[in-house]
C-alpha cells in the first residue's frame, strides 16, 4: 500500500500533537532517591559556601549531575556501569573541552568534531547514548568556561563529584544487594494481579502488555544477577523459582479471559499478597490464596496456584531445578568487539549530518548575533537533538516552554540572593525533583535543570540577573535551529521511519511464529521477550510520532489499529505455543512456515508501499486456528480501503475478550 488511510481521529483532531506535549508519564520515585539527588548536588555546594570556594564546589556539583540523570534504576551492577560511564564521559569531556578552549574558530571546529565522534559512539546502545550525551555537554561547557584554578584541577573536581554521586547511588547495595532483583520479581506478580483485575474490561490488552514487559524485565534481571554471582546463590534460586510460578497462573487466567470470564476481585488480591511477601523477602504461603480462589468460584486458578506451590517455596528446590526452565542469560558483547564490528548505517549517517549542520548553524548564529555566553546555544542543540530520548520536535517545543519557567526561577533567585544561601537551598530543592521530572516530561525536566545549571555555572562566571533572561533567547535560538535545520527539511524521513518500524515488527513476529513451537521451554521465553520488545519499540515510535506535525502524526495515528492487530497476533502465538488445546496435533514446520510467510509478505508490502495480499488467510492446522484468525484480521486491517484508526486512547483495548 502506498500510504495508510487517514483516520477520522486525524481529521477531527488537528492539534492532538500539541496536547501530547503536555502529557505526563507516571513516575513513582522514592523519597530516598530524591534525598540522594539533593545531597549529591547540595552537599558540595554547601561545603563551597562554607569554605568560600564556590567555584570549586560548583565543579564538584556539576560532576555529580550525571550520577542523577544517568541513573535508570535496576540492579546495582547495571546502575554502576551506566552511571560510571556517564560520570567518566562528563569528566573526560570537560578535560578535552579545556584543552581546546581559547582558540577561536579552531575551538569551535574541534568541539564540533568531538561532539560528532561522541554521537557516533552513542548509537552503540543506551549506556553509550547517555554517557556520550554528557561527554558532548561537558565538552561544550569545558571549552567555553574560564577558571582561575590550575588547568588540571577542574576536570579532577568534575570527576570527584561524579564519584561522590555514584557512591551515594550504590550505598543501598551494602544493605541489601539483591533488592532490585526481588523488586523486579514482585513487580511481575503485581502486573499479573493488575491483569487479573482487567480481564473482562477494556483494559485487558494494556494490562497484558504491562505484564509481558514486567515478566521480561524480571527474567533479564534475575538471569543477569545469576551470571554475576559466580557461584550458588540460594536467594537468587528462590527468586527464579518464584518467577517460574507465574507461568501456570498466567496461562490459567488467559484461558479464562478467552472464555469470556470476568475474574472476581479476590483473584487480584491473592496475587498482590504474594507480591508483598516476595518483595519483603518472606516465603509466600499460597494455602490461604488457594482456599480464597476456590471460594470465589475460580477452581482453574486455584489449581494453577496449587501447581505453582513448590516453586513459590523456592528454597526446597535445587539451583539447577530453579533455573531449569529459564532461558540462558544473554551474553554481553564486549566493547572492543562492538567497536571493531560496528558499521554506521544510513540512519546513523543522516543523524550525524543533521547534528553537524545544527552545530555549525548554532556557532554561526551565536557569533553573528554576539550572544552573551554563546556556548549555551550549541549546548541546548546537542541536548534537544539527541534522538535516543524521544521526539526531537516535541523536545524542542517542550524545552522552550520549560525554559520560560526555569529562567523565571533563575532570575528570581539571582535577584534575591545576597550571600549564596538562597541559591544553595534552591539548587538542593530542585535537584531533589530531577529524578522525578526526567521521567515525567521533558519540558518539566528543562524547567528544573536549567536553573540548576545557571546557578552552578554562575558560581564559575558570576553575572547579574539579566543573564537569566539572555538564556531564554539562547533556548529559543537553539530550538529554532533544531527545527529549521535539523528537523523540518528531513520530516519525510521521520514519516517513513514509522513504516519501517511496522514492517520490522511484522518480520519479528514471522520469525517468532516460525521458531517458538520447535524451541525448548527455556528458549521460548527468550523468543517471546524479543517479539514483545519489538512491539514495544513500535508502540514507542507511534507514541513519539503523535507529538510531531500533521505529516507525521497522521501517519502515526493511522498505524494504531495495525499495532493493535500485531499485538493480538503475538498474543495468539504465545497462547497457542504455551497452552495448546488438548487433543490437537501440534503444527508442523511447513504449516508454521505458511503463516509466517504471510506475515513476511505483508511486511514487504508495507516496507515497499505495495498493495496488500487480497487472498484471505486460512488456518493450515486446527491448532493454529486462533493464530490464523488474528493474522487474517491484520491483513484485512491493512488491505481495507478505509480502516478505522480510532483515537489513541480508545484503539488498543477493545473488544474486552481479545487478549
Q: Are 129 and 191 part of one and the same domain?
A: no
Predicted local distance difference test score (pLDDT) of residue 652: 38
pLDDT band per the 50, 70, 90 thresholds, residue 519: confident
In this predicted structure, the answer to whether residue 481 has a pLDDT above a threshold of 50 is yes
Residues 384-401, mean pLDDT to the nearest whole number: 75
- CA–CA dist 57, 428 (Å, integer): 13
**Domain-located, residue 64:** yes
pLDDT of residue 453: 84
pTM of the model: 0.75
Residues 98, 158 within the same domain: yes
141 with 192, same domain: the answer is no
> Are 198 and 164 within one domain?
no
- HSE-CB for 221 with a 13 A CA cutoff: 25
Within a domain: residue 332? no
Same domain, 167 and 186: no
Q: Supply the mean pLDDT for the chain.
A: 80
CB burial readout 105-124, b (16+ within 10 A) else e? eebbebbbebbbebbbbbbb
Q: What does the alpha-carbon distance between residue 424 and residue 300 come to, in Å, rounded to a whole number?
A: 60
CB 22 within 8 A of CB 14: no
Residue 264 domain boundaries: 179-203+233-322
104 within domain boundaries: yes
242 and 153 in a single domain? The answer is: no
Q: Which residue has the higher pLDDT, 339 or 416?
A: 416
Distant-in-sequence, close-in-space partners of 306: CB < 8 Å, separation ≥ 6: 286, 290
Choose between 343 and 378: higher pLDDT. 378
Q: In this predicted model, what pLDDT tens digit does every residue of 44-78 receive, in sequence order?
A: 999 998 888 888 898 899 888 888 887 777 777 77
Average pLDDT estimate for 123-152: 80
- Whole-angstrom distance, CA of residue 542 vs CA of residue 494: 11
CB 546 within 8 A of CB 18: no
Angstrom CA distances, 28 to 22, 25, 31, 73, 627, stand at 18, 10, 10, 12, 37
Tell whether 515 and 559 lie within a shared domain.
yes
Over residues 230-259, mean pLDDT: 80
Nearest CA-CA partner of 233 in 322, 313, 172, 312? 322
CA distances from 27 to 219, 221, 435, 440 (A): 23, 20, 9, 6
pLDDT for the residue 164: 92
Q: 446 in a domain, yes or no? A: no
In order of 35, 237, 247, the CA distances from 310 in angstroms are: 40, 13, 13
Higher pLDDT, 531 or 282: 531
Q: pLDDT at residue 333 above 80? A: no
Does one domain contain both 169 and 195?
no
Q: Which residues contact 370 (CB under 8 A, 6 or more apart)?
A: none
Residue 606 lies in a domain: yes
Q: How many domains does the chain have?
A: 3
Q: Which carries the bigger pLDDT value, residue 110 or residue 339?
A: 110
Band of residue 229 on the pLDDT scale cut at 50, 70, 90: low
Question: Which pLDDT belongs to residue 332?
Answer: 62
* pLDDT tens digits for range 594-653: 999 999 999 999 888 778 888 888 888 888 889 999 999 999 988 864 443 333 333 334
Same domain, 124 and 167: yes
Q: Is the pLDDT at 534 greater than 60, yes or no?
A: yes
Residue 23 predicted with pLDDT over 80: no
Q: Who's near 353: CB < 8 A, 6+ residues apart?
A: none
Confidence band of 283 (pLDDT split at 50, 70, 90): confident
Which residue, of 301, 322, 343, is where some domain finishes? Answer: 322
Assess if residue 645 is contained within a domain.
yes
158 and 196 in a single domain? The answer is no
Tell me how far apart the alpha carbons of residues 13 and 8 are, in angstroms, rounded to a whole number: 9
Amino acid at each position: 500500500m502506498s500510504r495508510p488511510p487517514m483516520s477520522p481521529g486525524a481529521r477531527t483532531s488537528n492539534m492532538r500533537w500539541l496536547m501530547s506535549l503536555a502529557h505526563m508519564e507516571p513516575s513513582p520515585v522514592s523519597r530516598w532517591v530524591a534525598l540522594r539527588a539533593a545531597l549529591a548536588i547540595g552537599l558540595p555546594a554547601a561545603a563551597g559556601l562554607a569554605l568560600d570556594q564556590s567555584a570549586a564546589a560548583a565543579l564538584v556539583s556539576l560532576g555529580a549531575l550525571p550520577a542523577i540523570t544517568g541513573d535508570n534504576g535496576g540492579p546495582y551492577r547495571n546502575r554502576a556501569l551506566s552511571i560510571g560511564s556517564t560520570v567518566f564521559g562528563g569528566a573526560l569531556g570537560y578535560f578535552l573541552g579545556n584543552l581546546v578552549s581559547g582558540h577561536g574558530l579552531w575551538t569551535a571546529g574541534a568541539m564540533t568534531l568531538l561532539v560528532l565522534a561522541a554521537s557516533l559512539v552513542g548509537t552503540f546502545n543506551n549506556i553509550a547514548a547517555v554517557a556520550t550525551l554528557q561527554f558532548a555537554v561537558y565538552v561544550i561547557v569545558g571549552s567555553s568556561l574560564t577558571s582561575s584554578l590550575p588547568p588540571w584541577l577542574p576536570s579532577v573536581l568534575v570527576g570527584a563529584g561524579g564519584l561522590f554521586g555514584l557512591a551515594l547511588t550504590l550505598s543501598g547495595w551494602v544493605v541489601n544487594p539483591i533488592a532490585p532483583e526481588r523488586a523486579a520479581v514482585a513487580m511481575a506478580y503485581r502486573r499479573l494481579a493488575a491483569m487479573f483485575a482487567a480481564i473482562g474490561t477494556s483494559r485487558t490488552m494494556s494490562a497484558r502488555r504491562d505484564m509481558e514487559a514486567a515478566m521480561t524485565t524480571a527474567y533479564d534481571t534475575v538471569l543477569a544477577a545469576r551470571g554475576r554471582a559466580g557461584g550458588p546463590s540460594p536467594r537468587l534460586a528462590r527468586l527464579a523459582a518464584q518467577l517460574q510460578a507465574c507461568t501456570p497462573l498466567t496461562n490459567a487466567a488467559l484461558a479464562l479471559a478467552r472464555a469470556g470470564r470476568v475474574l472476581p476481585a479476590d483473584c487480584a488480591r491473592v496475587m498482590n499478597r504474594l507480591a508483598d511477601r516476595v518483595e519483603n523477602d518472606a516465603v509466600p504461603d499460597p494455602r490461604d490464596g488457594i482456599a480464597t480462589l476456590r471460594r470465589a468460584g475460580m477452581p482453574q486458578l486455584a489449581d494453577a496456584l496449587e501447581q505453582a506451590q513448590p516453586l513459590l517455596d523456592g528454597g526446597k528446590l535445587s539451583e539447577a531445578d530453579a533455573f531449569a526452565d529459564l532461558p540462558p542469560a544473554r551474553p554481553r558483547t564486549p566493547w572492543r568487539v562492538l567497536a571493531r564490528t560496528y558499521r554506521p548505517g544510513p540512519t546513523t549517517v543522516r543523524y550525524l549530518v543533521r547534528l553537524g549542520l545544527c552545530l555549525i548553524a548554532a556557532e554561526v548564529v551565536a557569533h553573528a548575533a554576539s550572544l552573551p555566553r554563546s556556548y549555551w546555544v550549541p549546548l541546548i542543540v546537542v541536548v534537544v537533538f539527541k534522538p535516543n530520548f524521544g521526539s526531537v520536535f516535541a523536545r524542542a517545543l517542550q524545552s522552550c516552554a520549560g525554559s520560560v519557567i526555569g529562567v523565571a526561577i533563575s532570575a528570581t533567585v539571582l535577584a534575591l540572593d545576597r550571600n549564596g544561601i538562597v541559591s544553595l537551598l534552591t539548587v538542593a530543592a530542585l535537584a531533589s525533583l530531577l529524578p522525578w521530572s526526567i521521567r515525567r516530561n521533558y519540558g518539566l525536566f528543562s524547567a528544573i535543570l536549567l536553573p540548576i545549571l545557571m546557578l552552578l555555572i554562575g558560581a564559575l562566571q558570576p553575572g547579574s540577573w539579566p543573564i537569566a533572561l539572555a538564556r531564554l533567547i539562547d533556548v529559543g535560538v537553539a530550538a529554532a535551529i533544531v527545527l529549521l535545520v535539523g528537523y523540518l527539511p528531513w520530516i519525510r524521513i521521520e514519516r517513513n521511519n514509522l513504516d519501517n518500524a511496522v514492517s520490522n515488527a511484522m518480520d519479528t513476529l514471522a520469525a517468532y511464529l516460525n521458531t517458538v513451537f520447535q524451541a525448548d521451554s527455556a528458549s521460548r521465553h527468550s523468543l517471546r521477550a524479543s517479539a514483545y520488545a519489538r512491539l514495544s519499540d513500535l508502540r514507542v515510535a507511534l507514541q513519539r510520532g503523535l507529538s510531531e506535525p500533521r505529516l507525521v502524526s497522521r501517519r502515526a495515528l493511522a498505524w494504531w489499529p495495525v499495532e493493535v492487530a500485531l499485538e493480538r497476533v503475538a498474543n495468539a502465538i504465545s497462547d497457542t505455543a504455551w497452552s495448546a488445546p488438548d487433543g490437537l496435533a501440534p503444527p508442523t514446520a511447513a504449516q508454521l512456515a505458511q503463516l509466517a510467510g504471510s506475515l513476511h509478505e505483508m511486511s514487504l508490502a508495507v516496507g515497499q508501499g505495495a498493495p496488500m495480499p487480497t487472498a484471505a488467510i486460512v488456518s493450515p492446522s486446527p491448532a493454529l486456528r486462533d493464530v490464523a484468525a488474528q493474522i487474517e484480521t491484520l491483513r484485512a486491517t491493512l488491505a481495507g480501503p478505509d480502516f478505522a484508526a480510532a483515537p489513541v486512547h480508545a484503539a488498543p483495548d477493545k473488544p474486552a475478550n481479545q487478549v
